[in-house]
Amino acid sequence: MRQKQLTPYERLEIARDIKRPKVTDYIDALFDDFIELSGDRLGKEDASILGGIAFFEGMPVTVIGHRKGANLEENIKYNFGMPGPEGYRKALRLMKQAEKFKRPVITFVDTPGAYPGKEAEENGQSIAIAENLAEMSALKVPIITIVTGEGNSGGALAISVADEIWMLENAVYSVLSPEGFASILWKDAKRSKEACEVMKMTAEELYAGGLCDQVIPETEGGIQEDFSDGCMKIRKALRASLPVLMKTDTKTLLENRYQKYRHIEGEYHAIRRKAQ
């Protein structure tokens, strides 16, 4: 049963709840024999991106996701789920490894955005994100992205150029945070509730616009209230989609991915024209 209708801002609050499951919770619940792989092989390790190899019901897969903490100490360690360029380079390294060994890639998105600090910019943040977008668009293995919390800005997009984009019912996915949107558009971050209404960032709205392929229902109060039920639904969806994508020939897979993002681009321009 679908939960009662919530406002976009109410869904954002649920998506940001500190009790919301983290990528490690999904890995433990959905996959077997996960082995973490660290480092970008160029600079350093970025703990805000977690990645490695595992098995999904006997199928080898590569799993990558933003990592947030369950408390302040962990959030500081993981930079509140905001990766720097090293994190995105690590993610790309693991995706290229997956391509070499013909493993599907499953990514979990939950980030306020890429880290906007001076050091990140000096070390090539924008380039790292751009390279991920380009490489993922042509990656010769299936990619499934699951937006589990908040997916903001290029920080989310850098690991979510996928064949299928799924969203939990209370997840949000947008060009930037509502606070950032309000600050830019109205010079007032306090108008974030109003921004949530304007941005069309909820799973329901994005599904209606064809930007999200599947909405995974949550129990009332969010998946944090019944994690086992939520994981069962995700497992069922993966069980249905992975074999189909793995049987799709590479040429068709890449063409379908290309057409998907041409459609998303068309929807974006349509929204801009309507807003003008």
Band of residue 210 on the pLDDT scale cut at 50, 70, 90: confident
Number of neighbours of residue 255 by Cβ within 10 angstroms? 12
Measured distance CA(58)–CA(63) in Å, rounded: 14
The reported pLDDT for the residue numbered 2 is 46
Residue 88 has pLDDT above 60, yes or no: yes
pTM, entire model: 0.93
Measured distance CA(243)–CA(144) in Å, rounded: 12
The reported pLDDT for the residue numbered 209 is 86
Angle at which helix 192-199 crosses helix 178-186, to 10 degrees, equals 100
Report the CATH superfamily, name and number, of domain 8-275. 2-enoyl-CoA Hydratase; Chain A, domain 1 (3.90.226.10)
- Is 104:54 a contact under the CB 8 Å cutoff? no
Strands 49-56 and 59-66 come out as: antiparallel
Residues making up the chain, counted from first to last: 276
Residue 167 has pLDDT above 80, yes or no: yes
Residue 268 has pLDDT above 70, yes or no: no
Q: What single letter denotes the amino acid at residue 84?
A: G
Measured distance CA(204)–CA(8) in Å, rounded: 10
The reported pLDDT for the residue numbered 263 is 83
Give the pLDDT confidence of 108-127 residue by residue, as tens digits: 999 999 999 999 999 999 99
H or E element that contains 106: strand 105-111
Average pLDDT, stretch 216-230?
A: 95
Residue 3 has pLDDT above 80, yes or no: no
The reported pLDDT for the residue numbered 4 is 64
SS3 state at 172: strand
Domain ranges within the chain, ordered by starting residue: 8-275
Give the pLDDT confidence of 12-64 residue by residue, as tens digits: 999 999 999 999 999 999 999 999 999 988 888 999 999 999 999 999 999 99
Q: Which two tokens stand for residue 41?
A: 């092989």
Smallest Cα–Cα separation from 54: which of 65, 39, 41? 65
Query: What percent of the chain shows pLDDT beyond 70?
Result: 95
Measured distance CA(87)–CA(90) in Å, rounded: 5
Strands 164-168 and 143-152 come out as: parallel
Residue 254 has pLDDT above 80, yes or no: yes
Which of 82-91, 166-175, 199-208, 257-266 is predicted with the least confidence, judged by mean pLDDT? 257-266
Measured distance CA(99)–CA(92) in Å, rounded: 10
The reported pLDDT for the residue numbered 260 is 92
Residue 274 has pLDDT above 70, yes or no: no
H or E element that contains 61: strand 59-66
Q: Average model confidence (pLDDT) for the chain?
A: 93
Which of 90-99, 151-160, 257-266 is predicted with the least confidence, judged by mean pLDDT? 257-266
Measured distance CA(79)–CA(75) in Å, rounded: 6
Q: What's the longest Cα–Cα distance across the chain? A: 52
Angle at which helix 85-100 crosses helix 125-137, to 10 degrees, equals 20
The reported pLDDT for the residue numbered 1 is 37
